Structure 1
Amino acid sequence: MTRPMSIESSRLPWITAAASFGFLVTQLDVTIVNVALDAIGDGFGAPTAQLQWVVDAYVLALAAMLLSAGAIGDRVGPRRAFLAGLVLFGLASAACGFATSPLALILARAAQGAAGALLIPPSLALIARAAHGDDRRRAAAVGWWTAAGGVSIAAGPVLGGLLVESLGWRWVFFVNLPLCAIGAVLTLLVAREAPAKPKVPFDLVGQALAAAAVTLLVGGLIEGGHRGWSGAPLAALVAGLVLAVGFVLFERRAPHPAMPLSVFRRRPAWSAVVVGSALNFTYYGLIFVLGLYMLRVLHWAPAKAGLAFLPLTATFIVSNLLSGSLVGRFGAKVVTSGGVLVAACGYALTARLGAGSDLLDMLPGFALIPGGMGLAIPALTSGLLASVDRHDAGAASGVLNACRQVGGAAGVAIFGALAGAGMVTGLRTSAVVAAVMLAGAAAVLLAPARKASDR
């Protein structure tokens, strides 16, 4: 007999749409700003280093606050946390648009990133609750949620270019205001608040240690890629690692931990973090190098280079939507490992590119990399949500997404350093490293479990 759906479960498509607005705006602001940097620099007379931090401040704050956002959502309720994130993201976007100096813009971008963190774990928690334990429907919903991010990444450069040319660079931030408003209204209409966790003391020490560790690690990686791996960047990395170890030790004994370590004793949870970090490391790292390769080796115009990425992004969206149905049929583990191996093959093909390559040479890799990534990420996320208690969904997804952001920053820094020694050689080396890393990630997923609790 088919179990009747709850009211919340019957609203899953609408709740998924509302939750997707949160992921859409956070991903849109990763790419839409890049095409406005020249205009921002001209308007403020800002040097390149300051323009770099207009981008990096957002990523840094987003990564640093994701774990805290998951814990906040679990305690106050995902609906309240998500609505607060939309309001704060809109206010921070307005502050960006009205900024009168580079420093003001950088600080507002950091506020944007912190607010964006509050949109990701609670949005997944809303989906997990509405799916009501139905793995197939949850996987399909996560696929749509992930596809919203893919659409926004693809639309970012195009929309940003149109806004800069027609209305000015400030409108790449103002465009977030109606998007946040639509997401908030839809959430108020269709989502109900989940029961919050018991009112326990907030783990301020754990949250502070986690945020400081991620800030130092990501900041050290960003600066190390520009200034070299010594001095301040190296000190930041060492301090970040020390604080990360301190965070884990503290959480093991904390009476009310921000990150319940027991959640990650099961294999599906910790393997999701490992594989998710590898996926972001390889993808964002190689896309960064490919962009430089198109501009500096192939001497393509920026517009042509941007359009060259559209096939890659389109494949990502299609595979995102396909992932949910495949998870319902074959299971999250099979789909995730298959997607990781497909992406690894795409990176291996990309290693063949050289100084005389053209778009046709890139297309096989551009089809397989996002095809595999698009299959793997929704399946990975759905598998993680299925392996934890619904009350821990926000914290678990916060850890996953925080580690993915750190992985992406590491990939950009390390692959960028490889490219600095020689663009073509760096691209090929990066592609080989990416293929080997993902092959290893697939091995982690496919290795047989040694005990029942690991399954």
Structure 2
Amino acid sequence: MVRCIGPTMCRMNSSNISHSPALGRVLATVSVGFVVTQLDVTIVNIALPGIGADLRANVAGLQWVVDAYTLAFAVLMLSAGALGDRFGARRLYAAGIVLFALASLACGLALDAAMLVAARALQGVGAAAMLPNSLALLNQSYGHDPRLRARAVGLWTAAGAISIAAGPVAGGLLIAAFGWRSIFLVNLPICAAGFLATLLWIPQPESAPRQGAQPGPGPAAAAPADASPRGIDLTGQCLAVVALTAFVAAVIEWRPLGLGHPFVAGGFLLALIGASAFIAVESRIAAPMLPLSLFRKRSFSVAVLFGICVNLTYYGMVFVLSLYLQRVRGYTPLQAGLAFLPLTGGFLLSNVASGWVVGRFGVRVPMIAGAITAGLGYGLLHCVDAATPLIGLLLPFLLIPSGMGLAVPAMTTAVLASTDAKRAGTASAVLNTARQAGGAVGVAVFGALASGAAAAQIVPGMQAATAMSVAFLMLGGVLSCFVQPQPQPSDSAVRVAGRGRIGESR
């Protein structure tokens, strides 16, 4: 039986799964948004010295150039996912692309540090609109087949992971050729292509069942009664902004000011009050931005905690390694960027392989194996010092992305498999909010450990950061043991899925 859900895509039963070129075009389109949002997480790190010299920004100003984007990205994804559930993921995704492009133009034309920080925050708003809704669009298109969805998530995640790893490399090349402003202006043609593809290749929202309509048959047709779309929860959104911003600011200033400083102590207190009030509000209102009922599902809760561990360690270590390469080894931004090149290859191979592994073994095995592999890479980095030859970084630079690339698509699939399609935007927003928040904390904590201009301060801080990374990844591996393996499709579906590939027509 075939049930059409759009002008170019149909939902089929397990014995006749569709593999149309339209699905490949959807995957390519939503991957564009993921690429630009993730690229701007890391590409700016290589450009900070040039930005500081050109705009006369001090260290605190440069920190906010990084954090303004990450914080806005993190705290607004929950509302963006909820709005996508209510008004359509396609509409929110397209609006996010436009806003991100305009903000990137403002970054490239910034006249001072304050303007750049404001434009970076606006970039974060656009990124928040794009990321959860890109995953929701992916789930809507591929949700009829768990194996096919696992492959699609693997490729989607590979696009974002490679862009994160390629950020320092691309930044170094662009800065060497055109200056630091080019790292923002390069987003304009990418966003233009993504917006055009969204208009042409993403099905109109009218093709999906409307609210209140009787759902048809199929594996994703049923939805719980509490899965109705939600609008913006203004109280919850404001409390989330206050809690996360206060916490990250306090962590950043902890070491230079001391724990007893009023700003630091007050920041932690405000974060605690804000988080407590947020949970209280979300548990009582009828339409929360963060449905706490999601966390009653063990697989969902474990996957979110796992994502925090992964992003905290990786974002923090990339920041510390940038200091190590440029201040300890004396590399130029271009040389430092090229030193990160092995990360890209590791992400590419493991992300693509993860889709196959998830389809065959479920989500638990790749999450555990990925955590162990990445943890081993961080453990090898613990032995690195100022005299370590560059070749000594090669193996850990391959193991870390290989483990992450294997685990992250499985983690994402676990989240999608534990929620119904109507709440995919909200669920993915919760996951990515947690991951971005973890990354912001990782940069703050690990950066504090390795602060200072001398190698004598940076190397011990890097070694402490690697030890913490191993501990977090081992925690993630243990937590993964409690994830429920994804249910497998029927044997006939397995045979059909095994013969097809994403985007192929047969």
Same structural fold, with TM-score higher than 0.5 when normalized by the shorter chain: yes
Query: What's the CA shift string for 1:259-279, capped at 9, x where partnerless?
Result: 111122011100011110011
Aligned equivalent of 1:273: 304
Q: CA deviation at 1:225?
A: 5.4
Query: What's the CA shift string for 1:205-233, capped at 9, x where partnerless?
Result: 12222222222222333333554443313
Aligned equivalent of 2:502: none
Q: CA deviation at 1:200?
A: 5.3
Aligned equivalent of 2:315: 284
Aligned equivalent of 2:168: 157
1:212 matched to 2:242? The reply is: yes
Aligned equivalent of 2:412: 381
Aligned equivalent of 1:355: 386
Unaligned runs of 5+ in 2: 1-12, 212-227, 485-506
Aligned equivalent of 1:63: 74
Query: What's the CA shift string for 1:340-387, capped at 9, x where partnerless?
Result: 111111112221222321122222222211110110111100111011
- Pairing of 1:241-256 with structure 2 (within 5 A): 241-256=272-287
1:21 matched to 2:56? The reply is: no
Does the C-alpha gap of structure 1 residues 349 and 170 become closer, same or farther in structure 2, counting only changes over 3 Å?
closer
Does the C-alpha gap of structure 1 residues 223 and 72 become closer, same or farther in structure 2, counting only changes over 3 Å?
farther
Aligned equivalent of 2:10: none
Q: CA deviation at 1:401?
A: 0.8
Aligned equivalent of 1:191: 202
Aligned equivalent of 1:427: 462
Between stretches 264-273 and 229-238, larger displacement belongs to: 229-238
Out of 387, 390, 397, the position equivalent to 2:421 is 390
Query: What's the CA shift string for 1:123-160, capped at 9, x where partnerless?
Result: 00000110033111111111111221233234433433
2 CA distance for matches of 1:208 and 1:114? 14
Contact 1:79 1:187 in 2 (8 A): yes
Aligned equivalent of 1:445: 480
Contact 2:109 2:181 in 1 (8 A): yes
Out of 183, 206, 220, the position equivalent to 1:172 is 183
Query: What's the CA shift string for 1:313-354, capped at 9, x where partnerless?
Result: 221121111111110011011111111111111112221222
Between stretches 420-429 and 434-443, larger displacement belongs to: 420-429
Aligned equivalent of 2:44: 33
Unaligned runs of 5+ in 1: 450-455
2 CA distance for matches of 1:406 and 1:331? 27
Contact 1:22 1:123 in 2 (8 A): yes
**% identical equivalent positions:** 48
Aligned equivalent of 1:365: 396
1:98 matched to 2:128? The reply is: no
Does the C-alpha gap of structure 1 residues 293 and 173 become closer, same or farther in structure 2, counting only changes over 3 Å?
closer
Query: What's the CA shift string for 1:232-265, capped at 9, x where partnerless?
Result: 1332222122211211121111111111111220
1:324 matched to 2:355? The reply is: yes
Does the C-alpha gap of structure 1 residues 316 and 48 become closer, same or farther in structure 2, counting only changes over 3 Å?
same
Contact 1:337 1:445 in 2 (8 A): yes
Aligned equivalent of 1:264: 295
Give the match's secondary structure for 2:180: coil
Q: CA deviation at 1:426?
A: 2.1
2 CA distance for matches of 1:115 and 1:204? 18
2 CA distance for matches of 1:418 and 1:156? 23
Does the C-alpha gap of structure 1 residues 123 and 348 become closer, same or farther in structure 2, counting only changes over 3 Å?
same
Out of 111, 119, 125, the position equivalent to 1:114 is 125
2 CA distance for matches of 1:429 and 1:47? 26
Q: CA deviation at 1:31?
A: 2.8
2 CA distance for matches of 1:242 and 1:63? 19
Q: CA deviation at 1:87?
A: 0.8
Aligned equivalent of 2:65: 54
Contact 1:75 1:196 in 2 (8 A): no
1:334 matched to 2:378? The reply is: no
Give the match's secondary structure for 2:51: helix
Contact 2:79 2:232 in 1 (8 A): no
Does the C-alpha gap of structure 1 residues 347 and 36 become closer, same or farther in structure 2, counting only changes over 3 Å?
closer
Between stretches 196-205 and 237-246, larger displacement belongs to: 196-205
1:89 matched to 2:89? The reply is: no
Pick the structure with greater CA Rg: 2
2 CA distance for matches of 1:99 and 1:359? 36
Aligned equivalent of 1:224: 254
Aligned equivalent of 2:215: none
Does the C-alpha gap of structure 1 residues 6 and 213 become closer, same or farther in structure 2, counting only changes over 3 Å?
farther
2 CA distance for matches of 1:37 and 1:295? 12
Q: Which has the higher helix share?
A: 1
Does the C-alpha gap of structure 1 residues 256 and 10 become closer, same or farther in structure 2, counting only changes over 3 Å?
farther
Contact 1:339 1:372 in 2 (8 A): yes
Q: CA deviation at 1:299?
A: 3.6
1:305 matched to 2:336? The reply is: yes
Query: What's the CA shift string for 1:72-127, capped at 9, x where partnerless?
Result: 11111110110010011111112222322221121111001111111110000000
Give the match's secondary structure for 2:450: helix
